[in-house]
Structure 1
Amino acid sequence: MTVAHDPTRPAALAIPKEGYFERVEGPHGPLFPKTPANYGFSILGKVKPGREETIRAYAKTIEAAVAATPDVLAPLKLHYLRWLLFPIKGDLYFMYQGIFDTDFDKYMDDALSLFLSTGITTVFVNLEDFPEDWKDNRTAVIRFFREHQVPSFLEYAEYPYVSADEIKKALRMKAALTIALDQLQ
């Protein structure tokens, strides 16, 4: 049974510790549910010693890639992406938080294809336990993400279950309407 969601009414969802309500297997393991914020995951990994500046510089690489080709990350159907560096007991950790419109399996497939097709190296090479042969070993990459995922236990959205494409369409319609109304004045 499909539940109808009102995208104009905020929604929150408490998620069990396992990260899902009912275990449904996908090609790469259990599929996590779509929440009001859509799909997403958070990865926490220990940074290899001496790699902090490399990670920070890599953020500039992504910034430049998006500036040069605004739709370079479009295959990922991202809403938001957030990277954090923080110390835990003297070690440096990296957290990747992403919210997107596809399930985990599709996101992983699309992300690996994107990195391989663009030649952009993934930031995760700077983390301990990330497979050295990541370009040729999809299984090991997926295992890394599964093992380093920290599931959320609450997700909230002001405009729940709305895709990035729907948001962009609404913004284009708003811009067109604004232009039309400005021309009437």
Structure 2
Amino acid sequence: MAYGSPLAFFFSSFALLVASIPALVPVGVAEPSFYDPSRVTQLFWRPRIFLYKGFLSDEERDHIIKLARNKMTRSIVADNESGKGLTSNVRTSSGVFLQKHQDEVIARIESRTATWTFLPEAENGESIQVLRYRDGQKYEPHFDYFHDPKNQALGGLRYATVLMYLSNVNKGGETVFPNAEGASSRHKGY
């Protein structure tokens, strides 16, 4: 169960559950050039949750923001019975899905994510969803999986969720895992 604003695939240059692997870089958009284990912190083992600081370069982060900025619409949730998307006060953010392999930068981030999670991109990777939470907006506590046959047929349950933060905030915006082993003793900032 995740609490807070799960800016899924989104906000500062750090990410939960991911790391950086070198790749070819298009001119003008830098990529973190090495995998540095000192940037990875294990937050929990059950479930496995890692924090990788510096997963995205500043240029990659800015590129994602630029692609999404003028395309955001009210976020939806999947109906547990039909699988259809609907607006709900459970989730009040705005967002947009980027196209898979939309450009070289997005393809590189998708590939790096697949490499770090050890999950083949073609079989497992969903489109990057960019979300924005303004003051007072939320995604109420929820389980991050599908109950309905429609979404299960489209790929089923997720093996991993990667959250990339594109901005830093002084207060709010956190994602917490209250059922993680040892969660009650952990710092509330994770």
Category of TM-score, reference length = shorter chain: under 0.3
Q: TM-score, normalised by structure 2?
A: 0.23
Q: Greater strand share, 1 or 2?
A: 1
Q: Greater helix share, 1 or 2?
A: 1
Q: TM-score, normalised by structure 1?
A: 0.23
